[in-house]
Amino acid sequence: MWISKARIHGFQSFGDSGNILFQSGINLIVGQNNSGKSSVLRALQPALKDDRHRAPQRYSNHQVPQPRVELTIRVTGAELEETILIRGSANLPVLHQSEQNGSPADQIKNLFSWPTIIVDVINHSSTNFQSRAYPACGNFSLGQHKKNSISLSAVNGEIKYHTVTRSDTDDGAQIVWELWQRNMFYFSAERFAIGESAHSHADRLTPDAQNLPAVLHTLIGSRGTMFQKLVSHLRDIFPTVGNLSVRPNPNNNQLEIRVWPTEEMNAVELSFPLNASGTGVAQAIAILTAIMTINDSVIIIDEINSFLHPSAVKSLIRVIKTHYGSHQYIISTHAPEVISFCDPDTIHIVKRTGYESSIEPLKLDDVDAFRNVAEHLGVSMADVFAAERIIWVEGPTEELCFPLIYQHSGSSELRGIIFTAVSATGDFMTGRRSRALVYDVYKRLSSATTPLRVSVVFSFDTEKLSPEQCAEMRRESGGLVHFLPRRHLECYLVDPEAIAAFIAEKDVDGSTSVSGEIIRKKILELGPQKEFNNRKWRGDIADPNWLGALDAARFINRVCSETSECKVTFSKKADSLFLLKYIFLKKPDQLSPLVKYVKELVDQVRKNDV
């Protein structure tokens, strides 16, 4: 389930928002404080509040209409069927039985098999969803047909099909509203008091997260590995958190979440109640619980930067993108670190003039639009970071991938360490300025982001630098600068099976059938070509000398384009993670040199502590 379009009428600061288009991935809502960002997110909740839009010309209740929100929600037939099983019964429109239409029961069974059902609804402050079309699920066009409805019931985990009546009854919108209630999670910028709850068996978080202790308690007993993974994610986000536990509170017999500053849990007196911890910890635990335990949900996070430190925001988003990308995320923010690191699928800017808010989409590749964002945020678009230790890396691809690579080293967790992209790598490569001065500037920048002095290390692509040049730059940096053994990260990702899997994943209509052997032949065909450094080509696609000098990102793109008839292209920033995860899954030993390099970076930054 995900929302593809919304339009807000008469709610809070919006008279008419116009159509707001979302994608299934990460969607950002940006703007200044009090511009109306939160109003957009509140308008998406199942229970729309009667908070009417008012202006000097019309402000009394009898003068202004109740709010309404038009929504276009995409669900699957399987989600529709599951919701009917949960609710126990439903009535859905069908066509009269004929050879062309099939039986009413077969029509509904076919609907349950649909991968996408587009439902247009209106949400009023006084009612649940109402359909904007008939039938709500769009499974047929009524035309000259008469309206019929079939009665369904849930019996022993199966849908039973009953009588068809001459009726316009259509529970489609109501079913989607119930699904929306279950699978939409809204995390506000307010403090969450969710550290205690009643005893219960709960395998699913409620949308307000009030049963969080019960869900974690159930996870510990039923899905211990998942709970440990949640704790591991939490350590990545908060270096000050070592462990979590859930116990009966002896004072009121409620389940209580305890936060431990160390991994060891030897005495409960050395832990703290979650309700006494920072609001960001509670929010992060609730968000992680939602995205880890429920599939294909809509996660709405209001002002993520207001309850999380910039480095914690980056760590949470990295976890989301790396491990839990199947959900739709709608996130509001006024902080540049969210915009710069998130690499969103859509971005909208909210502005407010007087009593009226407006919202408009921004093109991600529009430089002028991003300048407009920076102007409205009142900040530069540079990252703001803080950590005990910082590893500056070549770009956003390495920033996303290096933590995942380090996880495969089997070493201790990245507590207090962040990877972040250098804003202008060219500063290090130019001869027009003092390199020593540039290194000093970056070291000062790293140190200034936290009250504590931090340890810093730099990692850059070798590109076309000679071994002598790399050695010179490392010497000039005082040993702070390291160079990837190969030209760049993608040199480790030239793998036939991984590329074939990537093409299959990206080919939306499934018309391209590409095997690892086909990719292998294409690599052997392109490898000798001059533009791909054929002087080091020896006919072996695993030759480290050839791979080390190869412009691999461009090479992989060419392989993808030619084997898919230009249907699939490869983007270093967007697609390297897929190849990396595939190779780690299927051929982890192949990446051992890369894992060793990243581990050395982490070991070095720890040794450099001052």
Residue 170 lies in a domain: no
436 shares its domain with 401: yes
pLDDT for 372? 46
Q: What is the mean pLDDT of residues 439-463?
A: 58
pLDDT tens digits, residue range 517-545?
999 999 999 999 888 866 788 889 999 99
In this model, does residue 376 exceed pLDDT 70?
no
Instruction: Name 186's bridge partners.
Output: 300
Mean pLDDT across the chain: 86
Gap between the terminal Cα atoms of the chain: 49
The 10s digit of each residue's pLDDT in 15-30 is 999 999 999 999 999 8
Residues 478 and 411 in one domain: yes
Torsion of CA 594, 600, 605, 610, to 10 degrees: 180
For residue 183, being part of any structural domain is answered with no
Average confidence (pLDDT) over 565-583: 92
258/214 same-domain check: yes
Neighbours of 427 (CB within 10 A): 16
The whole-number pLDDT of residue 422 equals 66
Backbone phi and psi for residue 500, each to the nearest 5 degrees, phi listed first: -65, -40
432 SS3 class: coil
pLDDT band of residue 385 (cuts 50, 70, 90) is very low
Question: Residue 405 belongs to a domain with what CATH number?
Answer: 3.40.50
Q: Which two three-digit tokens encode residue 186?
A: 């809204």
Q: What is the pLDDT of residues 466-501, one digit of tens each?
A: 888 888 878 877 788 888 999 999 999 999 999 999
- Residues 588, 498, single domain; the answer is yes
**550, 485 Cβ separation under 8 angstroms:** no
- CA gap 407, 405 in Å, rounded: 5
Spell out where 369-485 has E strands: 389-393, 417-421, 455-460, 481-483
- Of 463, 487, 511, the position where a domain reaches its end is 487
Contacts of 520 (CB under 8 A, 6+ apart): 496, 541
Which residues are 120's β-sheet partners? 72
Is this prediction's pTM over 0.85?
Answer: no
- Flag whether 570 is in a domain: yes
Encoding tokens for residue 236? Answer: 């990545």
Domain residue limits at 545: 489-595
Same-domain pairing of 591 and 493: yes
Q: Output DSSP code: residue 565.
A: T
Confidence check: pLDDT of 416 > 60: yes
Report the pLDDT value the prediction gives residue 384, as an integer from 0 to 100. 34
Distance from C-alpha of 49 to C-alpha of 67, rounded to nearest angstrom: 8
Q: Mean pLDDT across the stretch 6-21?
A: 96
CB count in 10 Å sphere of residue 95:
22
pLDDT interval class at 609 (50, 70, 90)? low
What percentage of the chain reaches a pLDDT higher than 90? 58
Q: Is a pLDDT exceeding 60 seen at residue 193?
A: yes
Query: What b/e string do you get for 484-509 counting C-beta neighbours within 10 Å, with b at 16 or more?
Result: bebbbbbbbbbbbbbbbbbbeebbee
SS3 for 462? coil
How many whole angstroms separate alpha carbon 183 and alpha carbon 108? Answer: 23
- Domains held by the chain: number: 3
Q: Which residue has the tokens 């699978």?
A: 183
Distance between CA atoms of 244 and 413, rounded to whole angstroms? 16
Task: Specify the pLDDT at position 96.
Answer: 85
Q: Given this model, what pLDDT does residue 340 score?
A: 66
Q: How far is CA 515 from CA 390, 522, 576, in A?
A: 41, 11, 19
Confirm whether 40 is domain-assigned.
no
Which tens digits make up the pLDDT trace of 226-249? 999 999 999 999 999 999 999 999
Same domain, 431 and 459: yes
Query: Which of 301, 321, 338 is the C-terminal boundary of a domain?
Result: 301
Q: Is residue 221 part of a domain?
A: yes
487, 512, 536: which is the final residue of a domain? 487
Host H or E run for residue 79? helix 77-87
Q: Is residue 429 part of a domain?
A: yes
* 408 and 457 both lie in a single domain: yes
Residue 412 placed within a domain: yes
Compute the average pLDDT of residues 162-166. Answer: 92
| 251-271 pLDDT, tens digit each | 998 999 999 999 999 999 999
Task: Tell me the two tokens of residue 62.
Answer: 């009898």
- The CA distance from 284 to 309, in Å, is 11
Considering the domain architecture, whether residues 513 and 533 belong to the same structural domain is answered as yes
- Judged by DSSP in three states, 421 sits in strand
Nearest to 581 by CA among 458, 495, 515, 486: 495
Q: Are residues 457 and 421 in the same domain?
A: yes
Residue 309's CB is within 10 A of a number of other CB atoms, namely 18
In a domain, 231, yes or no: yes
Distance of alpha carbon 456 from alpha carbon 393, whole angstroms: 11
Q: Do 499 and 466 belong to one domain?
A: no
Do 224 and 271 belong to one domain? yes
Predicted confidence at residue 423, as pLDDT, reads 52
Residue 432 confidence (pLDDT)? 38
In this prediction, residue 453 carries a pLDDT of 46
Query: Do 480 and 513 sit in the same domain of this protein?
Result: no
- 476 Ramachandran zone, left/alpha/beta (phi>0; psi -120 to 50): alpha
